[in-house]
Amino acid sequence: MDKAPPARFRRSLSRLDLTMIGFGSIFGSGWLFAAAHVSAIAGPASLISWVIAGLAVLLLGFVYCELGAALPLAGGVVRYPEWSHGKLTGFLMGLVTTIAFSSLISIEIVAARQYAGAWIPGLTRDTGGDPTLAGWLLQLVVLGALFLVNRAGIGTFALVNNIVTLFKFCVPALVAVMLLAHLHPANFSAHGFAPGGSIGVEAAISTGGIIFAYLGLTPIVSVASEARDPQRTIPFALIASVLLSMLVYVLLQAAFVGSVPASLIAGGWAGLDAKLSLPFHDIAVALGLVWLGTLVVSDAILSPSGTANVYMSATPRILYAWSKSGTFFGRFARVEASSGVPGPALWLTFALAAFWTLPFPSWQALIGVVSSALMMSYALAPISAAALRRTAPDLHRPFRVRGFSVLAPASFVIASLIVFWTGWTVLSWLLAIQLLACIGFAGWRRSRNQPTGLGNAAWLLVWLAGLMLLSSLGSFGGSLLIPHPADDVVVAVFSLLIYVWGARSGIASPALPVDGDA
């Protein structure tokens, strides 16, 4: 009897579905707090921070447009570095992305539970924000519901996500419009437009939560194998979701800065975030818009849950791709015929997400560090795209980025600067963990008499080590041996050299797959 062909992903996602996935992954709990955090750091100049970060992510989005349209594969974000630079780079991307995505599911579910605690007593402990037993069980129930939505198939997931994302868009848009109607122009100049200077603008991007609020591109790429006409729909969705998000974020920031009661900023912008437990809700209530405050709280529960649903869908595709690469357990590279879903990977995703919700406070810091690594994974896309242009020049590229020789290195330099602005406190952990992971993987490969891949990934190790060194010497939590803005210049020049090295270190790949199950 002939063996049945392997089950395949189902191409059913439309242009709207993909755009909603991108916007839905971007708008989680971040918008509810980021405006206050970045205002405390940069004051009204936080508007510039949102624009800079949005343009930076848009540049990276153009690179992903080329990669995603040319190679519309499940979990492609993991496979691109592997095809361009070998197993070691692919392994690091798989490890970092899997941990970050699965932890983001739990972060959003925990956030939703904390907000729900305002209406349902007994979900959160009095101190620390940790869940009670009832609160943890509720989190588990919500995770189970998201699991069932995704187990039903990509069509059911898309329908639920579209409905939730529409609400997630309408509420912040309404908040921005209503607060802009109560604008106080004097707020933009009362304590200077940029009280924190250029350092404040840069720190707001990295440590204020702005860049992490924008990082919703990779879930689109993760489901590329299930998109209809991916060569057209993926570029459209990537660009549209970033531009739409940037518009809403800038309007929200302007509304927040302009509507903050003058009494709260009488002593300056510093510490403002500590005065507002739920910023937009508190300002709406202070303005007498109680109904708007109620909408904000309801969205504070729904938005994080919707974003968790997106990452519950994206993580199994990452695990599937990581497994297909041969650097992770092969049993997860299987699609169920009945649903077109990578079932084993979805079960592991549910287990990982439940694991991250366990109430151990020390883990929260670890999750925060791992989540920060997402920006570093984005930074690898320009180098992968540049290397593939050299090693696979005949690859059909339906979306070919114009001005690539300028755009790609610029996006890598900007991404490196954003990582650098995160500061030594985070990078001392983040970069060390990734370096150790790379060295450990290379040692494991050598013990099995397999190529380590160090030759083609040497630039990656130097980049990680170099950023760690420069961070320790710079002005963002470092020793200040390299003062600002000289440290930015040094990081930019260093990153440009790494880009050239990495782009020339690509491996000679065989014919690249274009099938969605590859």
Instruction: Identify whether 516 is part of a domain.
Output: no
Instruction: Identify whether 513 is part of a domain.
Output: no
Question: What pLDDT was estimated at residue 353?
Answer: 92
Nearby residues of 91 by Cβ (< 8 Å), 6 or more positions away? 82, 325, 327, 328, 437, 438, 441
Q: Is the model's pLDDT at 362 over the cut of 50? A: no
Q: Which of 8-17, 185-194, 366-375 has the lowest mean pLDDT?
A: 366-375
Q: Is the model's pLDDT at 365 over the cut of 80? A: no
Q: Is the model's pLDDT at 296 over the cut of 50? A: yes
Instruction: Identify whether 301 is part of a domain.
Output: yes
Q: What distance, in Å, lies between the first and last C-alpha atoms of the chain?
A: 25
Distance CA 378, CA 385 (A): 12
Q: Which of 123-132, 233-242, 410-419 has the lowest mean pLDDT?
A: 123-132
pLDDT tens per residue, range 197-256: 888 888 888 777 787 778 777 888 888 888 888 888 888 988 899 898 899 999 999 999
Q: Is the model's pLDDT at 279 over the cut of 90? A: no
pLDDT tens per residue, range 345-359: 999 999 999 988 876
Q: Which residue has the tokens 């840069």?
A: 202
Distance CA 74, CA 488 (A): 36
Q: Which residue has the tokens 């510093």?
A: 270
Question: What pLDDT was estimated at residue 2?
Answer: 43
Helix, strand or coil, per DSSP, at residue 254:
helix
Q: Is 8 exposed, middle or buried (0-12, 13-18, 19+ CB in 10 A)?
A: middle
Question: What pLDDT was estimated at residue 167?
Answer: 86
Q: Is the model's pLDDT at 369 over the cut of 80? A: no
Stretch (H or E) spanning 378: helix 361-391
Q: Is 291 exposed, middle or buried (0-12, 13-18, 19+ CB in 10 A)?
A: exposed
Helix extents (H) in 422-453: 424-447
Contact, 505 vs 499, CB < 8 A? no
- Who wins on pLDDT, 332 or 482? 482
Contact, 160 vs 309, CB < 8 A? yes
Percent of the chain clearing pLDDT 90 (strictly above):
29
Distance CA 362, CA 213 (A): 23
Instruction: Identify whether 436 is part of a domain.
Output: no
Q: Which of 24-38, 167-181, 414-428 has the lowest mean pLDDT?
A: 24-38
Question: Residue 210: beta bridge partners?
Answer: none
Q: In the chain, how many domains are there?
A: 1
Nearby residues of 159 by Cβ (< 8 Å), 6 or more positions away? none
Mean pLDDT of 133-138: 89
Tokens of 283: 């300002």
Q: Is 142 exposed, middle or buried (0-12, 13-18, 19+ CB in 10 A)?
A: buried
Q: Which residue has the tokens 């919707």?
A: 306
Residue 363 confidence class, pLDDT cut points 50, 70, 90: very low
Instruction: Identify whether 259 is part of a domain.
Output: yes
Q: Is the model's pLDDT at 4 over the cut of 60? A: no
Contact, 105 vs 312, CB < 8 A? yes
Question: What pLDDT was estimated at residue 7?
Answer: 61
Q: Which residue has the tokens 């900007």?
A: 414
Instruction: Identify whether 289 is part of a domain.
Output: yes
Distance CA 423, CA 472 (A): 8
Q: Is the model's pLDDT at 364 over the cut of 60? A: no
Domain of residue 83, residue span:
15-374
Contact, 257 vs 37, CB < 8 A? no
pLDDT tens per residue, range 147-164: 999 999 988 999 999 999
CATH number at residue 282: 1.20.1740.10
Instruction: Identify whether 458 is part of a domain.
Output: no
Tokens of 131: 């869940």
Instruction: Identify whether 448 is part of a domain.
Output: no
Q: What is the mean pLDDT of the chain?
A: 85
